[in-house]
Amino acid sequence: MFEPIFHCIEHHFGGDRVGLHEPVLGDVEKRYLNQVIDSGFVSTAGEMVGQFERDVAHRVGSKHAVAVVNGTAALQLSLLACGVLPGDEVVTQSLTFIATSNAIHQCGASPVFVDVTSENLGMSAAALLRWLQENVEVVDGLPINHSTGKVVRACMPMHTFGMSVEIDAIQEMCRDYGIALVEDSAEALGASFKGRSLGTFGQCGVFSFNGNKLITTGGGGMIVTDCDVIAAKTKHLSTTAKIDAYRHDVAAFNYRMPNLNAALGCAQLTRIDDLLERKRNLAKAYEIAIGQVDGVELLVGLPDGRSNNWLLNVLCDSVEIKESLSSQAQQRNIQTRSVWQLLHQSAPYRHCQTGELRVCESVADRVLSLPSMPTSVSQ
Ligand SMILES: Cc1ncc(COP(=O)(O)O)c(C=O)c1O
């Protein structure tokens, strides 16, 4: 039943075993890393960190970029810089990697989970609006959740697998309610909505450069923003809030990205257009193959969005179809992956407030990620 999909994967990737996603590393990366080793500046003081920040800012069209040790740290600093305080609430989606919620928790705030759409698996603007209308009142300029009495300080949608959320509508709602917008674009470097890079719609956006992402620094994250104050604050907080060689003005973090990782990032960025094109070609091949199979649909996102195709996914008509696709793939040495446990059902976040979660509860067990590496035997 799934033969066209397996044929597509085996034809595209070849080999005995097909993984989900692996980084593309080669001579450029070795050259940049050697340059840093020869310079002796392997830690945070080297020139590559600033270079990587400028390169990412230029790529996405933001005024500033601040490089840190990972995407989770970038989310935490973004929320802090947007004024999130202990006891506040931050609205996000239940269907996301747990780091989204952990960053909120690390600020001493609580997540509130709203639903996603089945087209993009990202925050639904309609679900957000419904939750805001039913729960939030602006009192003296502050958005207050009247069932908890807490301030809803920020909203953090996540662009799942590189597919854009309805970011323009979400942006407008946040503006109307006076809620800061932080985009968790960890998976979405190179993706856009109506021609504008994801990560640049909110007060700030965040990218991850973990080893499984489109481009990697080994581990790393980036905050992008047009706001001078947020850029200065996140950089200050990421570098132990140093005011001179001996003094610090707040208890902060040692989150700055080391030069070695930044060198890898600069090298990887030279490949990004090629990687994106390879992934577009893979998405086209999947679309044809999956079109020949009943009961499965390739998720392509919103018509106004342009995904980076970081992970390509099928939504199956039933859990049984998904399980069968996954186990047959395993028998053929093809790696697939189910989506994360919904956060409102996870141990640390079970107690949190939610909106109605009909869509994510219906789709979570029916989504399967397919091999999405930007490598192929034919390119
Ligand atoms: C949606 C999402 N948010 C946040 C993160 C955290 O990034 P990192 O692993 O770099 O801390 C990741 C991935 O790793 C992610 O997929």
CATH code, domain carrying 14: 3.90.1150.10
Nearest alpha carbon, ligand 1 atom 8: 71
Do 228 and 325 fall within a single domain? no
186 Cβ below 6 A of ligand 1 = yes
Tally of structural domains, the chain: 2
Of 269, 288, 320, the position where a domain reaches its end is 269
Q: What are phi and psi of 67, to 5 degrees?
A: -90, 130
Share the mean pLDDT of the chain.
97
pLDDT of residue 16: 85
Share of the chain above pLDDT 70, in %: 99
Do 73 and 178 fall within a single domain? yes
Bridge partners, residue 287, by sequence: none
184 Cβ below 6 A of ligand 1 = yes
What distance in angstroms lies between residue 77's CA and the mean position of ligand 1's atoms?
14
pLDDT at position 308 over 90: yes
Do 249 and 299 fall within a single domain? no
Do 95 and 35 fall within a single domain? yes
Report which of 182, 152, 174, 167 is spatially closest to residue 81, judged by C-alpha positions.
182
On whether residue 314 sits in a domain, the answer given is yes
Do 244 and 287 fall within a single domain? no
Question: What is the average per-residue pLDDT within 9-30?
Answer: 93
pLDDT of residue 375: 83
The pLDDT tens digits of the residues spanning 318-375 come to 999 999 999 999 999 999 999 999 999 999 999 999 999 999 999 999 999 999 999 8
Of 269, 300, 326, the position where a domain reaches its end is 269
pLDDT of residue 60: 98
Is 168 buried (19+), middle (13-18) or exposed (0-12) by CB count in 10 A?
Answer: middle
Question: What is the average per-residue pLDDT within 79-104?
Answer: 98
Nearest alpha carbon, ligand 1 atom 12: 186
CA angle 309, 121, 315 (to 5 degrees): 80
On whether residue 165 sits in a domain, the answer given is yes
pLDDT at position 94 over 60: yes
Do 204 and 67 fall within a single domain? yes
pLDDT level of residue 4 (50, 70, 90 thresholds): very high
Question: What is the average per-residue pLDDT within 38-46?
Answer: 93
Of 212, 241, 269, the position where a domain reaches its end is 269
Question: What is the average per-residue pLDDT within 204-224?
Answer: 98
Do 350 and 237 fall within a single domain? no
Do 170 and 181 fall within a single domain? yes
pLDDT at position 129 over 70: yes
pLDDT of residue 15: 75
Do you know the residue count of the chain? 379
Do 296 and 166 fall within a single domain? no
On whether residue 145 sits in a domain, the answer given is yes
CB 266 within 8 A of CB 257: no
On whether residue 337 sits in a domain, the answer given is yes
Nearest atom, ligand 1, residue 70 CA: 10
Do 50 and 153 fall within a single domain? yes
Share of the chain above pLDDT 90, in %: 97
Which structural domain, as residue segments, surrounds residue 163? Answer: 27-269
Q: What are phi and psi of 146, to 5 degrees?
A: -75, -10
What distance in angstroms lies between residue 200's CA and the mean position of ligand 1's atoms?
17
Q: State the DSSP string of 87-156.
A: T-EEEEESSS-HHHHHHHHHTT-EEEEE-B-TTTSSB-HHHHHHHHHHHEEEETTEEEETTT--BEEEE-
pLDDT at position 378 over 80: no
Do 133 and 229 fall within a single domain? yes
pLDDT of residue 151: 98
pLDDT of residue 41: 94
187 Cβ below 6 A of ligand 1 = yes
Nearest atom, ligand 1, residue 210 CA: 10
Question: What is the average per-residue pLDDT within 127-153?
Answer: 97
Question: What is the average per-residue pLDDT within 165-169?
Answer: 98
Nearest atom, ligand 1, residue 221 CA: 10
The pLDDT tens digits of the residues spanning 109-127 come to 999 999 999 999 999 999 9
pLDDT of residue 367: 98
pLDDT of residue 147: 94
d(CA 130, CA 358): 13
